[in-house]
Amino acid sequence: MPTIVLGLSGALGHDPSAALYIDGHLAAAAEEERFIRDKHAKNRMPLEAARFCLRQAGVSPADVTLVAVPFAPIPLSSPARWHFARRYWYAPDRALDALLNGNRRYRRYRGRIFELLRTLGIDPRRIEFEPVEHHLAHASSAYHLSGFEGKTAILGVDGKGEYATTFFGYGEHGRIHKIKEFYDPDSLGGLYGALTEYLGFEMLDGEYKVMGMAPYGDPDRHDLSRLLDCDGRRLRVNTRYVNTVGMRRYKENGKGFYFSPRLIEWLGPRRRGDSADQPYIDYAATIQALYEEAVLKLMDHYLGDILRETGRLAFSGGGALNVKLNQKIIARPEVRELFVQPASGDAGTAVGAASHALVQRGIRPEPMEHVYLGPAYTTEECLAACQRHPQRPRWERVADIPQQVARLLADGHPVAWFQGRMEFGPRALGGRSILGCPSVAGIADRINEQIKFRERWRPFCPSLLDRVRPQMFKVDHPAPFMTFTFEVNDAWKSRVPEVVHEDGTARAQALERRHNPRYYELMEELERLTGNGVVLNTSLNRRGEPMVCSPDDALEMFFGSDLQYLAMEDLLISKPGPPRG
């Protein structure tokens, strides 16, 4: 009988997800937000995601042998709870709660998981249940899925799990060894998140916007070093300014923020609106530089010897989605191979908890080579969605969708691209994408203003043929998941300017044909038409919405924007209006 493991995340109140392994094969994984159409699905459980995973794998609830979750009880003997209590002395209710009732959140989460299992038809009494420490789940999602052989350094950075915020360790012979953890409130993810709120964005959602704003600013114009004490061995966040709780929090219209009034007094009022102006662009540049410097110092101290020995690093946690940091890491001479878990945020911990549970039972998970793990729909299902849609879309069934779409792109049209299985994780990688031709002047601004309705200064990313990667970038490193930025060679900056950011870099997906043949064919055809095997790629959604999942979602987004064309499986869909060309 196969070992069937269902991983379920969502303990921290955001980004619930589900993943299902059959022995070592990851059969399905998806985020709850995509099904319920609520970005980050805050305070929800992964019910629809779990239903999908079971259905996709052809597994009945009675077949599940093990449920793993990325949240575990932390004993009072651990330094984590004592550190938390000592650092939050100014909020005695929080401090005492950590000591006297420190696993309250775990017990509540376990109760919600058991209720979810009963809703799914899984009897909690008849399965194994394995809670995995949050950062251990992050570590497993990176190390066990990296495909690396031999000793591997492991890095984890995020806001926090149970108490831990930052993880340093190594993997060898399938086993993960902890070297060092830091605990709340000493959190680099929390510090970056607090500045994200100050800069006018939402924590857990806007950090990548701060990263996108940073290249427009000057990191040397302001000194933010008082926020953080980090010499490589030590990490201590200044809670008089950030990572605050209780009465120390700045409040506005009844909402509390993760920074204090002192930060406002020091730096000025919170940023508002969509503009990228001073001093806020300089603050963004400075916090990005401070974050990079701290992570690299800590990495050198705790993992330097291992990296010099092996050259391999596996990285996960929400902080691993900071692609500018990842660019700095792969530039290090001691780092020869870097695997960044593509779903590095908390959604990926469903995979991490499940993979960790498998390894504990002697089963090795397959390497993660792609993230096409969500639902797929047939052309007939897409056609049925068109026929019932009230806007009565115009459609034609074509045999050469990649070639047709490539011609539209070369003619300057953006096209929505809905093909195959939905991606797991935050990046659109050719399953649920909006595409443009990166050599067409102004296409990025047009997509920003008329389709995505997002800030003008936000960059777009390239998808490219894998054989183009060494020509386009100054560093040759695999890039299947858009988890790195690369400095673009000068000749390519003028060839594909719409996907080159302000600082001359691009966050890239270099695709191998075997993982998405239809998307690869589209780029080959675009190369034949324009000379460049590169396409502008952004997620198929509007601002503030999750990436689309179903044909109905795609049509709703299509008719809610200025998109003129939607390629949905073998259907080319258009709105009533002028003909092509």
Active site residue 477: no
Residues 6+ apart with CB under 8 A from 494: none
Task: Report the Cα 382 to chain-centroid distance in Å.
Answer: 27
Residues 6+ apart with CB under 8 A from 579: none
Task: Specify whether the backbone of 392 is left (phi greater than 0), alpha (psi in -120 to 50) or beta.
Answer: left
Q: What is 498-552 written as a DSSP string? A: GG--TTSEEE-EEE-GGG-HHHHHHHHHHHHHHS--EEEEEESS-TTSPPP-SHH
CA distance 230 to 236: 6
Helical packing angle, 104-120 and 47-57, nearest 10°: 50
The three-state secondary structure class of 192 is helix
Q: Exposed, middle or buried: residue 43 (CB in 10 Å: 0-12, 13-18, 19+)?
A: exposed
- Catalytic member of 14, 83, 138, 144: 14
CA distance 572 to 567: 5
220, 236, 462, 507 from 487: Cα distances, Å: 21, 32, 13, 9
What's the distance, Cα to Cα, between the start and end of the chain in Å? Answer: 57
* Structure-token match 């730096």, residue found: 267
CB 396 within 8 A of CB 579: no
Q: Which residues are catalytic?
A: 14
